[in-house]
Amino acid sequence: MVGDLDGDGWLELWMTEESGLISFTSGPSGLIQSEAPSGDLTLGSGGVTADYDGDGDLDVYLARWVGWPGPEEPGYGANRLLRNDGDGTFTDVTELA
């Protein structure tokens, strides 16, 4: 996923993988690895950015999957909708959407 996810005018690149999100931030010195949102965001298989709530910030829909035997826990492999709070942080609003 590519977009200005923290509102600083520079593009961020988020990649999903088994252990969670990997984030890179662009800026005057190029592309550097940065801190991704924390929380239960493992096993991502893809995602998309869009302004789902119409507030001008890019929100994130994270698609998840379970491709092999894994923990039988509620929410394991469930998709997530993350609302951009406008300050570089995100709130999981999956249950509210």
Could you read off the pLDDT of 31-71 as tens digits, one per residue?
787 766 655 555 567 788 999 999 999 998 888 765 555 55
Q: How far apart are the C-alpha atoms of 68 and 93, rounded to whole Å?
A: 27
Domain ranges of the chain: 2-92
Whole-structure pTM over 0.95, yes or no? no
Phi–psi pair at 27, nearest 5 degrees: -170, -170
pLDDT for position 97: 73
Query: Would the pLDDT of 10 be above 60?
Result: yes
pLDDT for position 38: 54
Note whether 16 and 42 are within 8 A (CB): no
